[in-house]
Amino acid sequence: MRSAVPNKLPPLNALKAFEVAARKLSFSKAAVELCVTQGAISKQIKSLEEHLQLALFDRTTTGLALTKAGKQYLPTIMAALEQIQSSTANLQQLEMNNHSLTLNITPSLSHLWLIPRLERLTDALPNLRLTMVSGDGAFQFHQASADIAIRCLPLSLSHENSTLLAEEVLIPVIHPDLLAQAPISQAEDILNHPLLMHTTRPQLWSQFLSSTLAEKKQAQIPNYHHGFEHFFMSLEAAKQKQGIALVPDFLASEFIKRGELVNVLNMRYQSSFGFYFLAPSYRQQNEQVQHFYQWLLTEIKPL
């Protein structure tokens, strides 16, 4: 055997081949686990034995057996490889965490807007890893594990840790078949259709009608139909020809472009709500948070 070089570490591949072969007492089984040929395992073991100038296996007609040196070497190598694997995983997890954000987002915004744009988000921010959880209403970071949040809130300058992304502009949308059955040529004709309620903000329709109908028409009782908690639910109901839904313009834009829904008379109503980006003060300078916020600003656009 050739002389070993003092203090020179054995090749890592050879150590791994030894560890697996020693556990299984089989070169062929080691080859299967490591996805290499049996000849490659034999070559690695030979290389390691030459490096150590020690035989690690007894090769007999009945199979493999560890030599005294092999039995002494195996526990140390197993522990060392496990430590390398653990340290590598920890480092990778740390790096992943540096690029990961947990976003608490309203269901409609995630279903209708953000998830369909994930490919665009990845193109713009390839290192960002988002974990999305759903939520609605007021948000407190000390009560949740999210890093950032997006909420639809009343327009105000007093929302803590918040920045306005866009004011809410609502539009009435209807399935084109319903519109063909009962055309709408003026705002008052909306009352000839069922109106889909938003149960968490039941005042939306009355506010919209008050702002768009002539005073004498406001006395007419609207035909309120099914009620829904979230915009994505009322949008789906509108697509199923259940009536007119009143929803944020940018959430309905793709359905309108595809001809699945129609914006009644191209009407728009600016509510007293807006979509806010929320980040606690200790995360506002985070690079990923800032990049994601800037991406949101460029993507959230009205019709």
Ordered by start, the domain boundaries in the chain are: 12-97, 104-303
**Confidence band, pLDDT 50/70/90 cuts, at residue 219:** low
Q: Which residue has the higher pLDDT, 280 or 195?
A: 195
pLDDT over 70 (residue 2): no
Go through 197-207 and write b for each residue having 16 or more CB atoms within 10 A of its CB, e for each that does not: bbeeeeebbee
* pLDDT value at residue 260: 97
Candidate CATH numbers 3.40.190.290, 3.40.50.1000, 3.40.50.300, 3.40.630.30; the one for domain 104-303: 3.40.190.290
CA–CA separation, 32 vs 41, rounded Å? 10
Q: Which residue has the higher pLDDT, 266 or 60?
A: 266
Q: Which fold has domain 12-97?
A: Arc Repressor Mutant, subunit A (1.10.10)
What is the residue-averaged pLDDT of the chain?
Answer: 89
pLDDT over 60 (residue 153): yes
**Confidence band, pLDDT 50/70/90 cuts, at residue 1:** very low
Instruction: Return the percentage of the chain with pLDDT > 70, whole number.
Output: 90
Instruction: Return the percentage of the chain with pLDDT > 90, whole number.
Output: 72
**pLDDT digits 0-9 by tens, 80-121:** 988 888 777 666 555 445 568 999 999 999 999 999 999 999
pLDDT over 70 (residue 222): yes
* pLDDT value at residue 6: 52
**pLDDT digits 0-9 by tens, 155-177:** 998 888 899 999 999 999 999 99
Average pLDDT over residues 211-228: 78
Average pLDDT over residues 294-298: 94
* pLDDT value at residue 220: 72
> Is 12-97's fold the same as 104-303's?
no
Neighbours of 61 (CB within 10 A): 4
